[in-house]
Amino acid sequence: MSTALFPPVYLEKRTHYREFMDKHVYPAERSLDREDDAALDLIAALQGKARSAGLWAPHMPPEAGGTGDGFLYYACMNEEIGRSYWAQLVFGCQAPDAGNAEILHLYGTPEQRERFLEPLVGGRARSFFSMTEPDVAGSDPTLLRTRAVQDGDDWVIDGQKWFSSGADASTFGVLFAITDPDAEPHRRGTMILVPAETPGVEIRPVAVMGHTGRGWNTHCEVSYTGVRVPVANTLGERGDAFRIAQKRLGPGRIHHVMRWLGQMQRAFDLMCSYALEREAFGGPLAEKQTVQNWIADSAAEIQACRLLTMDAARKIDEGSEARVEVSLLKFYAAKALGDVIDRAVQVHGARGLTDATPLAQMAAHARGGRIYDGPDEVHRMVVARRILKSYMAGEGWSFR
């Protein structure tokens, strides 16, 4: 694997993640997959080890309780962390908590940071992000309906969300609620912090691709019925929900892609190793041209995704929102992820569908990547619209 894309100090740090993954995470995967009480205890034990090893919360800066150094740094670490589904939880950088921590860090009042952010980054709390609703198109958040009405010093919330990932057994949610239905569409929503135990909040995990899961590994329906929380739980200003969601989802999208880089590379390793080992029709699968094409196409796609990720990460670290770069990376990498894993499954034949390798689980998770945090089609629309707008302004488009 080429290493020249990252500063040597990042590469040195990454070897610590690799050693930790080899020693603690890969050997634990089968046990963690069982999602029983013993698996919860094991996660807690591994989190303690990650903290002691100075590898905790690499997405957050030290002043917010993490060990990170920006997006490029996090991209580099994720080529190791992303290889295992459970590792993000072990290192305290799991979605959706990572994104929620970032917006609490940016927009939280001192009281909110103390009550919600500190336990979150410290690994003593988990959270969920409650935006998508079953009854309206999540791609177009101007359609959202869940209402919060101010009553004295409280918000009173009513509505129905779903796909609130990780909501089962979590501590609080970041809710996108409509507070000002008559305002212009992008000023109608407000972000509100809702403790999960508040009366009227009901959380129910939904089976996704046949798997219901438990705790962090869930996607939940969350219903809000007459839920009362103080107006002091408003995150940012009233009417700021669209702006905050955008601030959260941009980095969140690139975080997903960073983890996918690890997933793709693991699938690639498995594909190449198995192709050399398995024999059919007089020789190893590695000698069949179709398999060679899959390996070559996968290598090209993985490297393209790496370069697109580095480019977007550098631009974000320099202060740009990198909207076009993040959107084109998101849809391109989601497709590459699915394709690389699918080829690796195919090379493994029936074995690829069993639990003998992590490929089947990886394939199931990969499919959601083309939908969550914006379906492919919406990201293509964002990219094309922005480029065309630039042409209409007579500026053309320069690839920087």
Ligand X SMILES: Cc1cc2nc3c(=O)[nH]c(=O)nc-3n(C[C@H](O)[C@H](O)[C@H](O)COP(=O)(O)OP(=O)(O)OC[C@H]3O[C@@H](n4cnc5c(N)ncnc54)[C@H](O)[C@@H]3O)c2cc1C
* 372 counts as binding ligand X under rule CB under 6 A: yes
User: Contact between 10 and ligand X (CB under 6 A)?
Assistant: no
Nearest CA-CA partner of 208 in 354, 357, 359, 365: 365
Q: How far is the CB of 26 from ligand X (least distance, A)?
A: 24
How many residues bind ligand X (CB under 6 A)? The answer is: 21
Helix axis angle, 241-277 to 289-317, nearest 10°:
150
Token pair for residue 1?
A: 């694997």
For residues 40 and 44, what is the distance between their CA atoms, to the nearest angstrom?
A: 6
Q: Which is nearer to ligand X, 114 or 377 (CB)?
A: 377
Asked if 36 touches ligand X (CB under 6 A), the answer is no
Q: Of 19 and 140, which CB lies nearer to ligand X in the complex structure? A: 140
For residue 305, which amino acid is it? C
Comparison of 156 and 364: residue with beta carbon closer to ligand X: 364
Nearest approach, Cβ of residue 382 and ligand X (Å): 9
CA distance 279 to 15: 34
Give the tokens for residue 313: 């990460």
The only residue of 381, 386, 387, 390 in contact with ligand X, by rule CB under 6 A: 381
Q: What is the CA radius of gyration of the chain?
A: 22
**Residue closest to ligand X, measured at CB:** 138
> Which of 75, 313, 378, 382 forms a contact with ligand X (CB under 6 A)?
378
Of 101-109, 232-240, 260-268, 371-379: span binding ligand X (CB under 6 A): 371-379
Least Å distance, CB 306 to ligand X, is 23
Per-residue x/- track, 154-183, ligand X (CB under 6 A): ---------xxx------------------
For ligand X, the binding residue among 5, 156, 360, 371 (CB under 6 A) is: 371
Nearer Cβ to ligand X (23/389): 389
Does 138 interact with ligand X (rule: CB under 6 A)? yes
As measured in angstroms, the least distance from the Cβ of 254 to ligand X is 16
Return the residues of window 57-116 that contact ligand X according to CB under 6 A: 96
Closest CB 343 distance from ligand X, rounded Å: 22
Question: Is residue 131 part of the contact set for ligand X (CB under 6 A)?
Answer: yes
Tokens of 34: 């069982």
Minimum CB–partner distance for residue 128 and ligand X (Å): 6
Q: Per-residue contact track with ligand X, 199 to 238, x per CB under 6 A?
A: --------------------x-------------------
| Cis omega (within 30 of 0) for bond into 375 | no
215-219, long-range: CB < 8 A, 24+ apart: 215/35, 215/40, 215/126, 215/166, 215/168, 215/169, 215/170, 216/89, 216/94, 216/126, 216/166, 216/168, 216/170, 217/35, 217/166, 218/165, 218/166, 218/167, 218/168, 219/162, 219/163, 219/164, 219/165
Q: Based on CB atoms, which residue is closest to ligand X, 208 or 310?
A: 208
Can you read off the two tokens belonging to residue 348? 């493994």
Counting contacts by CB under 6 A, is residue 384 touching ligand X?
no
Relative orientation angle of helices 71-81 and 8-20, to the nearest 10 degrees: 30
State which residue, 263 or 298, has the beta carbon closest to ligand X: 263
Out of 67, 88, 132, 263, name the contact with ligand X by CB under 6 A. 132
Q: Which stretch binds ligand X (CB under 6 A): 31-39, 119-127, 224-232, 369-377?
A: 369-377
Can you give the binding site for ligand X, defined by CB under 6 A?
A: 96, 129-132, 137-139, 163-165, 219, 368, 371-375, 377-378, 381
